[in-house]
Amino acid sequence: MSNFINDTARPEIFNLKTYVPGKPIEEVKRELGLDDIIKMASNENPLGGAPKAIKAISENLDKLHIYPDSNCYNLKSKLVLATGISEPGILVGNGSDELFRLISETFLNKGDEVIFAQPTFAEYEFAATIMGAKCVVVPVIDFKHDLKAMLAAINEKTKLLYICNPNNPTGSIVSGEEIKDFMDQIPDHVLVIFDEAYYEYVENASYQSGLSYVLEGRNAIVLRTFSKIYGLAALRVGYALTTPEIASAIQRVTEPFNVNMMAQIGATAAIDDKEHVAKSQKLNAQGKKYLYSEFTKMGLQYIETDANFIFVDTGRDCREVFNQLLRQGVIIRTGDIFGYPTFIRVTIGTMEDNQRFITSLKHVLKG
């Protein structure tokens, strides 16, 4: 059987790095026999799902026998009003992860090149590698995208270039001015993908979405999600905003019914839940301020964030810190998977969660 797989499977799959998700609460309960657990590992919204989405879903549970709208008409109509992008330029996916894959399937051939930062979201590399493309990794400088080095890495084989803004796992942004200078020099054969999964959390006034370049008709895609501030991670709904021509090409490789009915209903309702978004932003800002203060008191270096998580240097082996926090019922994310063996990434939670995390972290670091 092993020889059959080795001889017949696409060779690219053996180069894939397995995505490591945040440890699930139920798994920790089973492994450690704990009941009281908080998860601060996957950048989920601690307030839960948008109430309007939950209500809309509950009112439509009698429709589970009906296939979903393959075109996501109602959701796209709401996104047109919310973003200013016309319906032909909007794509909806089973999470942003599916959209990364669809973009790669549409534009990448074996030997093409894809540029992204290091560290950044792992799915860019996964989607490119499975298509046989070469990944060109550009290290961050001071935990920010090095846009000059990314420009210098472009050649005639470059097809895609990812900018995660705010960046995961660092939480840093590149400013609108920096992006403008960058986009002024981008050659026409490169498709720039702005991953803006956390853009609703941004407080920095220098930030600018990549949406303006889509509206200009540039070769650009903006990706956003309902998983973070809207609290709908379980539904898996992401969307892409781009030109009608680019969207039409990607649509050719998209499966019908790729976004389920409840996901569409929930996301459509969530767009109108401005109160939930405002509460989430306020809670995140308060939590960020508290965690900054506590990290400073503890003498820990952290990266100022414009997302709902903080990348912090514990000065200790992150796996050791992770395991000790786990035994206290606190799940965080280790930094070694991003190339930072003493860092952890912690999601900003409720104030109660944040305080419990700090108490547990102090206990761990005192050893």
Domain coordinates in residue numbering, the chain:
9-48+275-366, 51-273
Task: Give percent of the chain above pLDDT 70.
Answer: 96
Lowest mean pLDDT among 20-24, 59-63, 95-99, 157-161: 20-24
Average pLDDT of span 248-256: 94
User: Could you tell me the pLDDT band of residue 115, with boundaries at 50, 70 and 90?
Assistant: very high
What per-residue confidence (pLDDT) applies to 5? 75
pLDDT value of position 270 = 98
Say whether pLDDT at 1 is over 70: no
Architecture (CATH level 2) of domain 9-48+275-366 = Alpha-Beta Complex (3.90)
Q: What is the mean pLDDT of residues 328-347?
A: 95
Question: For residue 296, what are the CA distances in angstroms to 37, 190, 304, 312?
Answer: 26, 42, 12, 11
Residue range 51-273, CATH number:
3.40.640.10
pLDDT of residue 112: 97
pLDDT of residue 153: 98
Strand bridging mode 220-225 / 301-303? unpaired
> Does residue 224 surpass a pLDDT of 70?
yes
- What is the mean predicted confidence (pLDDT) over 333-355? 96
| pLDDT at residue 19, rounded to an integer | 65
Confidence band for 311, pLDDT divided at 50, 70 and 90: very high
Residue 20 has pLDDT above 80, yes or no: no
| Residue 28 in this model has a pLDDT that exceeds 70 | no
* Rounded Cα distance, 342 and 40, in Å: 17
Do the domains 51-273 and 9-48+275-366 match in fold? Answer: no
Give the span between the Cα atoms of 257 and 274, in whole angstroms.
28
Give the side-chain half-sphere CA count within 13 A for 37. 21
**What integer is the mean pLDDT of 284-307?**
97
Residue 160 near residue 115, CB atoms below 8 Å: yes
* Residue found under tokens 């109108």: 272
> Is the model's pLDDT at 29 over the cut of 70?
no
Lowest mean pLDDT among 17-21, 154-158, 279-283, 353-357: 17-21
Interval 327-354 mean pLDDT = 96
Q: What is the rounded average pLDDT of the residues 11-31?
A: 72
Mean pLDDT of the chain: 94
Could you write out the DSSP letters of every residue in 200-262?
GG---TT---THHHHHTT-SEEEEEESSSTT--GGG--EEEE--HHHHHHHHTTPPTT-S-HH
